[in-house]
Structure 1
Amino acid sequence: MLSLNSRKYKDKVQATGKQEIHRNIIEGCKLGQQRSQYQLYQLYSKAMFNVCYRMMSNREEAEDLLQDSFTDAFHRLHTFRYESSFGHWLKRVTVHKCINEIKRKKTNLDYYDDMGWFENQEEEKEEAYGNGLTVENVKKAMEHLPSGSRMIFSLYLLEGYDHVEISQILDISESNSKSQYMRARRKIKELLNTNSHETR
C-alpha cells in the first residue's frame, strides 16, 4: 500500500507528465500543426462549450461561439506564455468572445430591481443548498434568473471573475454586481430547496 507521501509524489509525477503532454500539443499548435489543433480541441471543447452555453443560454449561439473562440485562440496562441494554466487562458478568451457578441448585439440585460435589503450588505458565506445541488439542477434554476443577474452569477461563481472585473465587463457598479449576485444566489437556493421538498 502506498504511503501518503508516495501517493502525493505519484500524483505530482502524473500531473507533471500531463502538463508536458499538453505543452507539446500547444507548441504543435503554435507551429500550425492540424493534428495538434485537433487534439487541443478534443481536450477543451466540451468545457468551453459549457462556458458558452452558460453565457448565452442558447445552444446554437454557444456552438458558433465555441468555434469562434478556438479560431481566435489559435490566432493568439503565440501570446500564451505558460504563466497560467492553458485552460484558464482559453476560458478568458472564450468568455470575452461571448461578452463581445452580447455587446455587438446590444442585448439589453435585465437585472433584479427589488434589491432593497441586498444593497450595501456584506457578501454572505456560502450556504447549503439542500439535496438538490447538482450541476443540472443549478443550470435549470439559473434559467429563472433575469439575464443580467444570471450572467453575473455565472461570471462570479462559475467562471472565476471578481466583482471589480464584472463591473467593468458589464458597465455597472461594483456594489450592483455584488448585490445582484447575492440576490441571484438566494433565488437559486430557494428554487433548489423547493424542488428538493417537492421530490420527496
Structure 2
Amino acid sequence: MSGFSDLQVDEDTLAAARGGDPRAQEGIYRSFSGPVYSLALRLLGKRVQAEEVLQDTFVEILSKLGEYRGESPLGFWIRRITLNKCLMFIRSPWYSRSTPLDAMEDGLPADAYSPDRDSNADALINQMALERALACLSQTSRMVVWLHDVEGYTHTEIAAHLGKTNSFSKTRLARAHSQLQALLDDRSITEPCMQLLNNY
C-alpha cells in the first residue's frame, strides 16, 4: 500500500472531482482510502474507529475539494484532514465515554502497513516490529508519539490538540519512547525507535 506522498491525481481528474463527477471522486477515493484507513488504524488502534474516520475524512475531502488550491501535494492535504479527524475522534465526548483512555482491544492487522517492495529484509523486520510496538501503546500515547515524531508537532501544539498541558505531552512522549524502546529491545531490534519512526 502506498503512502500519501507516493500518490498523485492528475489535474483533469481533480478538476472533474471538484465539479462533482462521481467517477473522478471515486478515483480519488480508490487512490487514498488505503493510506487514510492505515493512518487512522495506527493512531486509533481499532478497525471500527478507523472505518468511521475513513468515512468522515472522505465526506470532508469531497465537500472541501473546491477549497484545495494545490499549494501542497494533494496527499499532504488529505493526510492533514485524516489527522484532524483522528484528533476530533479522540477528543469527542462519545469517545471518552465509550473507550477508556488507555484501552486497546484490536491490534494492527498484519497488512496495516506494507513497506516499499525495494526495502531490504532487515528494514521490513524493523518496520513490522515497530508496528507491533506502537500497537502496544495506549491510543493517547500512540497519538502523542505520532504527532511529535512523525508529523513534527511541538508539545504546545499536541497539548492544544488533545486539550492537555505541555507537561502532559512531554511526560507521555518520554514514557512512550521508553516503552517502545523496551518493546523493540525485546525483539532484538538494534535501530533506535526514533530512527525507525523517522522512516515513515
TM-score (norm 1): 0.70
Write the distance in 1 (CA, Å) between the matches of 2:123 and 2:26: 39
Q: Which residue of 1 aligns with 2:150?
A: 158
Structure 1 counterpart of 2:57, one-letter code: S
Identical positions, percent: 30
Write the distance in 2 (CA, Å) between the matches of 1:63 and 1:106: 14
| Structure 2: runs of 5 or more not aligned | 1-6, 103-121, 190-200
Structure 1's 133 and 168: CA in aligned 2 closer, same or farther, altered over 3 A?
farther
Write the distance in 1 (CA, Å) between the matches of 2:123 and 2:76: 30
Structure 1's 44 and 161: CA in aligned 2 closer, same or farther, altered over 3 A?
farther
Q: Which residue of 2 aligns with 1:48?
A: 36
Write the distance in 2 (CA, Å) between the matches of 1:148 and 1:40: 30
Aligned partners of 2:43 and 2:139 also within 8 Å: no
TM-score (norm 2): 0.70
Deviation at 1:83, TM superposition (A): 1.4
| Structure 1: runs of 5 or more not aligned | 1-17, 111-129
Write the distance in 1 (CA, Å) between the matches of 2:20 and 2:91: 31
Deviations 1:92-129 (A, max 9, x none): 1112112222222242534xxxxxxxxxxxxxxxxxxx
Aligned partners of 1:138 and 1:192 also within 8 Å: yes
Structure 2 counterpart of 1:74, one-letter code: L
SS, match of residue 70 in structure 2: coil
Structure 1 counterpart of 2:81, one-letter code: V
Structure 1's 186 and 83: CA in aligned 2 closer, same or farther, altered over 3 A?
same
Say whether residues 1:77 and 2:70 are aligned partners.
no
Aligned partners of 2:129 and 2:187 also within 8 Å: no
Aligned partners of 1:26 and 1:36 also within 8 Å: yes
Q: Which residue of 1 aligns with 2:47?
A: 59
Structure 1's 131 and 67: CA in aligned 2 closer, same or farther, altered over 3 A?
closer
Structure 2 counterpart of 1:194, one-letter code: D
Deviation at 1:163, TM superposition (A): 2.4
Comparing both structures, which one devotes a greater share of its residues to helix? 1
> How is 1:27-176 mapped onto 2 (pairs within 5 angstroms)?
27-104=15-92, 105-107=94-96, 109-110=101-102, 134-176=126-168
Deviation at 1:156, TM superposition (A): 2.1
Structure 1's 92 and 43: CA in aligned 2 closer, same or farther, altered over 3 A?
same
Structure 1's 179 and 24: CA in aligned 2 closer, same or farther, altered over 3 A?
farther
